[in-house]
DNA sequence: GCGAGTGTTCGTTCCCCGTCAAACAGTTTA
DNA sequence: TAAACTGTTTGACGGGGAACGAACACTCGC
């Protein structure tokens, strides 16, 4: 058999951190990068779990993109969920805004 | 006399930027550094024009400190004024908060 | 099972930023 | 003028992060 009662051989689930435990420095560093701000904005423009990692319009390779997603996760900004071979994304709006009130709003409002 | 009506041979006045023209990226990068956040907090704890550059408690040399002050100026966070051989500092609270509402509050509230 | 598709990890390269020591510039006091 | 003090500028060094290609891991359709 290929799976046990406890779950079998799936791939490692993405590592998440409670946004309440994220440092201000991590949050600022995560949002200081223009590519990551673009990801956050596109994420905010879509509904939860609507976008997979490959559907974002940023001028980097998938390796670099994967790195950026990891940084956003560690900053408490992103939640990811596996769906077959793809990975669905959700912006953690409420949680992040509770930890850093107004910060996300600045990014979403800003054009650059 | 040692000065003319136009100013004579003073040292170059510090360069300032209108906070309204500061990019979000500049602001985030400026505040992402722990030394600069300390400077901002100490500045907020004192009144305007009360502190000279040498009176801040940060573990860097004066050369590095001077650099940090320049970054804070370019981010629209700091205003400087010459007073003899010293340089007085003022946190641009209202102007910066008008450009990036809530951002300064996050830094001042945070302990780390 | 095989191949296509999706995303991560590894190793490398490059560049920017923070840091320092040393030298410089300006101001004040002696 | 000389000496002391404050702050800036320059050049060099080191570390960290962003970027890429290539290889790997996993899932699904044929």
Domains of chain A: 19-109 (1.10.10.10)
Q: Which pLDDT value is given to residue B111? A: 80
Whether B73 and B80 have beta carbons less than 8 Å apart is answered as: yes
Strand order in the sheet with B86-91: B51-52, B86-91, B78-83
Residue of A nearest to B98 (CA): A106
Say if A28 is an interface residue toward chain B (CB within 8 Å).
yes
Chain B residue closest in CA terms to A37: B25
Q: What is the pLDDT of residues A64-112, one digit of tens each?
A: 999 999 999 999 999 999 999 999 999 999 999 999 999 999 999 998 7
Condensed to tens digits (0 to 9), the pLDDT of residues A3-59 reads 334 445 688 899 999 999 999 999 999 999 999 999 999 999 999 999 999 999 999
Cα dihedral A100/B50/B34/B99 (nearest 10): 40
Q: DSSP characters for B23-92?
A: -HHHHHHHHTSHHHHHHHHHHHHS-TT-EEGGG---SS-HHHHHHHHHHHHHTT-EEEEEETTEEEEEE-
Instruction: Determine the Cα–Cα distance for residues B73 and B66; give it in Å rounded to an integer.
Output: 11
Q: Is the CB of A80 under 7 A from strand C?
A: yes
CA B49 to CA A48: how far, in whole Å? 48
Residues 43-82 of B with CB under 7 A from strand C: 59-64, 67-68, 71
Closest CA to B24 of A40, A97, A4, A91: A40
Tokens of B35: 């030394």
More confident of the two residues B80 and B11: B80
Distance CA A84 to C1' D14 in A: 43
Backbone angles phi, psi at B68, to 5 degrees: -60, -40
Q: What is the mean pLDDT of chain B?
A: 93
Confidence band of B53 (pLDDT split at 50, 70, 90): very high
Instruction: With H, G, I as helix, E, B as strand and everything else as coil, classify residue A81.
Output: strand
CA distance B76 to B79: 8
Taking the CA of residue A38 and the nearest CA in chain B, the distance in Å comes to: 12
Joined tokens for residue A19: 């946004």
Using the structure block, give the residue that is written with the tokens 């406890």.
A6
């Amino acid at each position: 058999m290929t799976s046990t009662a406890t779950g079998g051989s799936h791939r490692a689930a993405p590592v998440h951190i409670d946004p309440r435990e994220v440092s201000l420095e991590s949050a600022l560093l995560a949002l200081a990068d223009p590519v990551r701000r673009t990801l956050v904005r596109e994420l905010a423009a879509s509904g939860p779990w609507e976008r997979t990692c490959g559907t974002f319009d940023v001028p980097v390779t998938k390796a670099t993109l994967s790195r950026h997603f990891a940084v956003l996760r560690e900053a408490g900004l992103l939640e990811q969920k596996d769906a077959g071979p793809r990975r669905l994304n959700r912006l953690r709006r409420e949680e992040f805004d509770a930890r850093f009130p107004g910060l996300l709003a600045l990014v979403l409002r800003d054009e650059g």
